[in-house]
Chains A and B, each alone.
Chain A
Amino acid sequence: MLGNVTLMEYLGGGRAVAGHRPWPRYSLDERGWREMVHQLSVSDWTLLGLWADGTEVHAALRDEENAAIAVASVGCPDRRYPSLSGVRPAAIRLERAIHDLYGLTAEGLEDQRPWLDHGRWGQSAPLAIVRGAPPSGPVVYPFLPVEGESLHQIPVGPVHAGVIEPGHFRFTCAGETVVRLEERLGYTHKGVEGHMAGKSLIDAARLAGRISGDSTVAYAIAFARAAEAATGTEAPPRAHWMRALMAELERVANHILDFGAICNDAAFSFMLAQCTVLRERILSVNELCFGHRLLMDTVIPGGVAVDVTREGSSILRGLVKELRKRVRRLADVYDDMPSLQDRTVGTGIVQSSLAHRFGAGGFVGRAASQGGDARKVPGYPPYDDLDFEVPVHPEGDVNARIWQRLEEVTASLALIEQILERMPGGPLHKPIPTRGGEGMALVEGFRGEILLWLRLSEVGRVVRCHPRDPSWFQWPLLEAAIEGNIVADFPLCNKSFNCSYSGVDL
């Protein structure tokens, strides 16, 4: 049944699984899954996530025509399932990760190399019901072969020159020009999904806030919303507004630091110094108002653990005014510097069609015409009650990603003012009832849309938690964006993406 079918019409033919909120989940048999893969090739359905759980594989999809969201599941008793990678390239690394952790094989996946498993865990498929045999030793990773005259390779990492997260980049170059970049990640894999199992909600929320430290608020909100969905709880209104307040502070702090750091990678260190000072202003206000510089552990399932006082509110208003003025000045300096823009304009271009194919969101997607933002679609409180625009740029280069961030900072500062102005009173927290269920959340972190899926046991413990970082769909685009650029521009491109390592290595 190919053709113009909506996601719901299509999956509605499967068996609905009870107790999955807020979006439905359908159980398909292998044939149904195969047909779904086929249907994906002719439909504008974005892959939001792909993860395993025991001997089941789940795919979260969004129909871009009507914004409907659903999860499709397939059982794989013989440990195999049909691959989505042929129709959704964003699935490739997710399927490799599923194989490494659960020992389930994607049939039809061309790239069968291990991803997270470097052969150093002393076991294979550590989360599978039946674990695999221990590996014989560290994996000798077969990088993609290159052929051609005068090509040379530059291996970089996992230990980089600066203070950044570890990962390996294999550049193949012709002279100064990069003809291929291949990423190899997984170095920071610390078994987050394994650690989650069996945890109480409060312990698991703490862990969720440490999946990617720079996005701690966004992850904690995603976890809390998934837990609330699973148990059919609604956090009190003031908690939603407090969450949004802190999420926007997090967004502003990260975007400002990125802006400075990108300019620094084009040797304009003045901007980094200025932006570090601004960021420090935000973090010290965070500590003063909420007790933690990065706002860790402030969002908990059922609500928030902190409140904003009248005095705090006036400090935050002052901060917003100051930031608005000083960010505008720095933006003017950037706008006024042709020598800096000479490095950023036309560098590291992400094709809009590719961003769409990978379902890339955040500033990487939006700076390449992809306007998705989880605060708008599917939306969640209090954003449906707030007035804000999501800027979009068409060029897809480093310059566009800079302006994207600067405009998002402006929008977030206005949001913070609205939130402080209109924050409702009332309780900050509602107890979560002890019951089982499945919940999913989509939350807009500073990098883009975070998906978090959660299954709770009847006694309220985590059975399975899968967090999907926005960087899963952005890292592969960096490989494409750098092609044809010079090696010296890689730091600039990489910083303009600022993908999370910890968030995808898990």
Chain B
Amino acid sequence: MSLARLLFRELLRGPRTIEGPLPDPLGIEQLGRALGERARAGLGRSLRIREVDAGSCNGCELEIQAVNGPVYDLERFGIHFVASPRHADVLLVTGPVSRNMAEALRRTYDAMPSPKWVVAMGDCAADGGCFAGGYAVLGGVHHLLPVDLTIPGCPPTPLNLLSGLLALLEVAAVGSDGQASGA
């Protein structure tokens, strides 16, 4: 089948994207606590994410690729993965933070402009998961950086990931005066 026919067929059948989930209420609560004493800045309904694999098994990366695909289509919510930490609002970290990656992770964080958020994705990033302990890992992102949101799972499903990030968007969109900046 030619590319033209395949494209035409795709146009006729409509989008493959599924309906998005609601923001994770637990995530909003955690974010509320984490950000309670820090200045909030309204970002509008747009978040830029820099992802760093700090020693994951690559399972989390597979699910991140899934949310970027047409089925979950993260970008429709204004959330976008970027190449440079200089362009990022959010650092999304996977893995138990191997000691060999700690400096690169720290430098990536330092390169991001404020205000910035850190999301620990998956059980490893939360507390080291099944790699906790031993000489080679720190055992969770919070040992190195302030974590604003944890998305549990091994790996978290795309819907978990989506709903966690939507919670972040919800909170980030609220300005320091408590008003939703988009309103």
Contact = CB atoms under 8 A, between A and B. Distances in A.
A322 interface: no
Interface string A195-234: 1000000010011001111101000000000000000000
A190 B131 contact: yes
Contacts, number: 159
Contact of B98 (A122, A188, A195, A293): A188
A273 interface: yes
A165 B95 CA distance: 10
Nearest to B51: A163
Interface stretch (A7-15, A49-57, A276-284): A276-284
B136 A190 contact: yes
B130 A210 contact: yes
B16 interface: yes
B3 A333 contact: yes
Contact of B55 (A161, A187, A194): A187
Greatest chain B CB density within 10 A among A187, A189, A337 is at A187
A7 B103 CA distance: 46
Contacts of A161: 83-84
Interface string B134-157: 111100000000000000001101
Contacts of A187: 55, 98, 100-101, 104
Given A187-B98, A191-B137, A212 B57 contact: yes
Interface in B17-56: 51-56
A294 B155 contact: yes
Interface residues of B, number: 51
Given A121-B135, A188-B98, A337 B57 contact: no
A293 B71 CA distance: 15
A273 B59 contact: no
Contacts of B56: 165, 188, 213, 502
A430 interface: no
A211 B124 CA distance: 13
A204 to B, nearest CB: 10
B180 interface: no
Contacts of A22: none
Contacts of A332: 1-2
A280 B62 contact: no
B58 A502 contact: yes
B100 A294 contact: no
Nearest to A213: B59
Given A190-B136, A195-B131, A277-B16, A163 B81 contact: yes
Interface string A472-506: 00000000000000000000000000001110010
B65 interface: yes
A120 B59 contact: no
Contacts of A283: 66
A214 B59 CA distance: 6
Nearest to B60: A213
B178 interface: no
Contacts of B61: 163-165, 213
A38 B96 CA distance: 43
B6 interface: yes
Interface in A149-172: 158-159, 161-166
Interface in A332-363: 332-333, 336-337
A273 B63 CA distance: 15
A195 B100 CA distance: 17
A431 interface: no
Nearest to B83: A161
B57 A213 contact: yes
B69 A280 contact: yes
A296 interface: yes
Interface in B97-111: 98-104, 108
Contacts of A192: 131
A388 interface: no
B113 interface: no
B102 A162 contact: no
B70 interface: yes
A434 interface: no
Nearest to B111: A159
B3 A294 contact: no
Given A161-B83, A277-B16, A283-B66, 5 more contacts: A138-B103, A158-B104, A190-B95, A214-B59, A277-B70
8 residue pairs, one from A and one from B, having the closest CB atoms: A213-B59, A276-B69, A191-B136, A161-B83, A213-B57, A191-B134, A120-B99, A210-B57
Interface of A: 116, 118, 120-123, 126, 138, 158-159, 161-166, 186-192, 194-195, 203, 206-207, 210-214, 216, 257, 270, 272-274, 276-277, 279-280, 283, 287, 293-294, 296, 329, 332-333, 336-337, 500-502, 505
16 contacts: A118-B99, A123-B135, A126-B136, A159-B108, A164-B53, A165-B56, A166-B54, A189-B55, A191-B137, A195-B134, A210-B154, A213-B61, A276-B70, A280-B69, A293-B63, A502-B55
